[in-house]
Structure 1
């Protein structure tokens, strides 16, 4: 079993939608390079913003 890690030692990213920092989660272990948003809410808001931008243009 690997040694325990402290939350402060986990890698962090900044959410592309809200700009808040968020830490690595076990469920993101295999896709951490692809994770861009801190939550489902931010991902949904980014989608609606993208649709709104393409509809205006």
Structure 2
């Protein structure tokens, strides 16, 4: 029996706050998925580097 789309688990993206649903390719790593897209994952990386103070600057 097929699973209805409305019955799939859902999470909220840590960057944009949009809800996203389970995908088959995330089946093994669903607990680790935090971002809805590659764009949000890149945004986290770029904003994380910008916020980190550089040790070479005085």
Q: Normalising by the residue count of structure 2, what TM-score does the alignment of the two structures yield?
A: 0.88
Structure 2 residue runs of 5 or longer lacking an equivalent are: none
After TM superposition, the structure 1 = structure 2 runs for residues 1-57 of structure 1, keeping only pairs within 5 Å, are 3-55=1-53
Superposed displacement of residue 55, structure 1: 3.2
Provide runs of 4+ in structure 1 moved above 3 Å.
Answer: none
Q: CA RMSD in A?
A: 1.1
Structure 1 residue runs of 5 or longer lacking an equivalent are: none
Q: The residue matched to 1:33 in structure 2 has which SS? A: helix
Q: Normalising by the residue count of structure 1, what TM-score does the alignment of the two structures yield?
A: 0.90
Bigger Rg, which one: 2
The C-alpha deviation readout for 1:7-53, integer Å capped at 9, x for no partner, is 11000000000000000000000000000000000000011010001
